[in-house]
């Protein structure tokens, strides 16, 4: 399949382009705490504007669940977007997404290239998450061309990424991927196709249940799977290790045993941390010490991988030619439990491999340690990148593909 992109679009002067962006930024006290996602979609917005289009930009923000929620309005995003774009961004707080005023304002856009309208939070309308066709048809009425740049949302069958491009295509109007989405698909496809080997995946994070299907599919394709973070304890406990009060999911013991058996069958290295940093509580002041990972004392939790584990992981990473990293090795948000994540991230950044990181917290760690340059791609979509790497057809991408 071939993904249609901005290169497939003809003349754009005088055209109204609907851009589904991922502007789902973290807000703190009403202000945007991290502008990464807004900046990531700039290549698409500026290219479209330079080509003479006017824009209707739309995104979801948070989880308002189909209702108007004053804390999830797009106002702060509009301000930031205007600042970064260096132009006026027209945004009006509305009690819903669409009304006659919004529709009229978008209609006039055809005569005013360079104008940018930002719609209210798409999830204020229950039709968004329901992939509602009637809602999609009203959105389709706002523009002549559809561009999806919201990689973080392509795994969800929601109206703005699924029903809307279908409706546009049915009406003979183009629906294509923006530059960010194009870049995400290109980088992740390199891991899905025939990656240079050895292919090493490093997984961490809190819950193994979030990533079991990822583990199941990666084990079929990688040469080594390194597992850190709290999810390692479910693997260790399933084999009878003492994990103290570490985060474990006993209802997943069968699944992780199956994954381990499958890895053995395929000759895939499944590497768990040799040692961990344990403490009685998750605080900066807590008394911590390093223990073998299967000997965490009662009353303590494993909160980071230990120095020997970092060394072991780094050795495997150094030999890799393709690396995927998703999920921190410990509670890296707290300095005393950050050495594992930092050590592994540093090893990946220093490896001579094609290296991709995904997941909100993992990317935050890469940035915090200033290691971004050591990675070939930092994926802006956590859930979307994992589902893509499972080889699943994602609704938001399928709508933009055609047979070659």
- Answer yes or no whether residue 361 interacts with ligand ADP by CB under 6 A: yes
In this complex, which beta carbon is closest to Mg ion, that of residue 336 or of residue 383? 383
- Please pick, among 133, 350, 383, 392, the residue that the annotation labels catalytic: 383
Output the CA–CA distances (angstroms, integers) from residue 54 to 115, 161, 322, in the order listed. Answer: 5, 20, 40
Q: How many CA atoms lie within 13 A of 391 on its CB side?
A: 11
In this complex, which beta carbon is closest to ligand ADP, that of residue 247 or of residue 286? 247
- Answer yes or no whether residue 333 interacts with ligand ADP by CB under 6 A: yes
Among residues 302, 306, 312, 343, the one that binds ligand ADP under rule CB under 6 A: 302
- Answer yes or no whether residue 381 interacts with ligand ADP by CB under 6 A: no
For residue 348, the minimal CB distance to ligand ADP (Å) is: 13
- Answer yes or no whether residue 84 interacts with ligand ADP by CB under 6 A: no
Among residues 326, 338, 380, 385, the one that binds ligand ADP under rule CB under 6 A: 326
For residue 326, the minimal CB distance to ligand ADP (Å) is: 5
Q: Which does 206 bind (CB under 5 to 8 A by kind): Mg ion, ligand ADP, none?
A: ligand ADP
In this complex, which beta carbon is closest to ligand ADP, that of residue 94 or of residue 217? 217
207 included as an active-site residue? yes
Count of residues near ligand ADP by CB under 6 A: 20
Phi, psi (deg, nearest 5) at residue 161:
-115, -10
In this complex, which beta carbon is closest to ligand ADP, that of residue 195 or of residue 359? 359
Output the CA–CA distances (angstroms, integers) from residue 142 to 93, 229, 240, 306, 389, in the order listed. Answer: 17, 45, 59, 55, 33
For residue 211, the minimal CB distance to ligand ADP (Å) is: 7
Q: Which stretch, 104-112, 121-129, 155-163, 204-212, contacts ligand ADP (CB under 6 A)? A: 204-212
Alpha-carbon dihedral 209, 211, 215, 218, rounded to 10 degrees: 160
Pairing assessment for the beta strands 199-203 and 322-326 based on DSSP bridges: parallel
Which residues, other chains included, contact 258 with Cβ-Cβ below 8 Å and sequence gap of 6+?
A: none
In this complex, which beta carbon is closest to Mg ion, that of residue 113 or of residue 204? 204
Of residues 7-46, which lie at the interface with ligand ADP (CB under 6 A)? none
> Burial code of 74-91, b = ≥16 C-beta within 10 A, e = fewer?
bbbbbebbbebbeeebbb
In this complex, which beta carbon is closest to ligand ADP, that of residue 241 or of residue 327? 327
Among residues 44, 121, 322, 362, the one that binds ligand ADP under rule CB under 6 A: 362
| CA–CA distance, 305 with 344 (Å, rounded to integer) | 10
| CB-CB contact of 337 with 284 (8 Å) | no
For residue 71, the minimal CB distance to Mg ion (Å) is: 21
- Answer yes or no whether residue 286 interacts with ligand ADP by CB under 6 A: no
Among residues 27, 68, 247, 286, the one that binds ligand ADP under rule CB under 6 A: 247
360 included as an active-site residue? yes
- Please pick, among 79, 216, 360, 374, the residue that the annotation labels catalytic: 360
- Please pick, among 133, 173, 207, 368, the residue that the annotation labels catalytic: 207
Q: Which stretch, 76-84, 121-129, 169-177, 355-363, contacts ligand ADP (CB under 6 A)? A: 355-363
For residue 49, the minimal CB distance to ligand ADP (Å) is: 32
Q: Which does 54 bind (CB under 5 to 8 A by kind): Mg ion, ligand ADP, none?
A: none
- Answer yes or no whether residue 229 interacts with ligand ADP by CB under 6 A: yes
- Answer yes or no whether residue 169 interacts with ligand ADP by CB under 6 A: no
For residue 307, the minimal CB distance to Mg ion (Å) is: 25
Asked if residue 198 has a cis previous peptide bond (ω within 30° of 0), the answer is yes
Among residues 64, 205, 273, 396, the one that binds ligand ADP under rule CB under 6 A: 205
| CA–CA distance, 113 with 381 (Å, rounded to integer) | 31
Q: Which residues are marked as active site?
A: 37, 207, 360, 383
User: Which residues are at the interface with ligand ADP (CB under 6 A)?
Assistant: 204-206, 210, 229-230, 247, 302-303, 326-328, 330-331, 333, 359-362, 382
């Amino acid at each position: 399949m071939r993904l249609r992109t901005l290169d497939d679009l003809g003349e754009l002067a005088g055209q109204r382009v609907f851009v589904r962006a991922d502007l789902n930024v973290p807000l703190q006290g009403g202000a945007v705490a991290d502008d990464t996602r807004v900046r990531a979609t700039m290549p698409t917005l500026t290219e479209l504007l330079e080509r003479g289009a006017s824009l209707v930009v739309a995104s979801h923000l948070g989880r308002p669940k189909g209702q108007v929620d004053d804390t999830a309005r797009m106002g702060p995003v509009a301000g930031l977007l205007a600042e970064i774009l260096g132009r006026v961004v027209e945004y009006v707080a509305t009690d819903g997404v669409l009304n006659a005023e919004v529709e009229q304002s978008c209609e006039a856009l055809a005569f005013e290239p360079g104008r940018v309208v930002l719609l209210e939070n798409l999830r204020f309308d229950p039709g968004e998450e329901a992939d509602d066709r009637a809602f999609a048809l009203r959105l389709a009425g706002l523009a002549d061309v559809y561009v999806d740049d919201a990689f973080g949302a392509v795994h969800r069958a929601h109206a703005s990424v699924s029903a809307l491009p279908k409706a546009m295509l049915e009406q003979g109007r183009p629906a294509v991927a923006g530059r960010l989405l194009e870049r995400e698909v290109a980088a992740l496809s390199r891991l899905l196709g025939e990656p240079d080997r050895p292919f090493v995946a490093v997984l961490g994070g809190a819950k193994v249940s979030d990533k079991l299907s990822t583990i199941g599919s990666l084990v079929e394709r990688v040469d080594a799977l390194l597992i850190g973070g709290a999810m390692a304890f479910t693997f260790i406990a399933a084999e009878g290790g003492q994990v103290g009060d570490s985060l474990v999911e006993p209802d997943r013991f069968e699944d992780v045993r199956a994954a381990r058996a499958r890895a053995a069958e395929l000759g895939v290295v499944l590497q768990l941390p040799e040692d961990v940093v344990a403490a009685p509580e998750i605080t900066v002041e807590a008394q911590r010490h390093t223990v073998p990972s299967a000997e965490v004392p009662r009353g303590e939790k494993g909160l980071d991988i230990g120095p020997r584990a970092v060394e072991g992981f780094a050795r495997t990473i150094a030999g890799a030619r393709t690396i995927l990293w998703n999920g921190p090795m410990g509670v890296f948000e707290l300095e005393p439990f950050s050495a594992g994540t930092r050590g592994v991230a540093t090893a990946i950044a220093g490896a001579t491999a094609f290296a991709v990181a995904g997941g909100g917290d993992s990317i935050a760690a890469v940035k915090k340690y200033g290691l971004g340059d050591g990675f070939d791609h930092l994926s802006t979509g956590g859930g979307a990148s994992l589902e893509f790497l499972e080889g699943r057809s994602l609704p938001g991408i399928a709508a933009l593909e055609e047979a070659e």
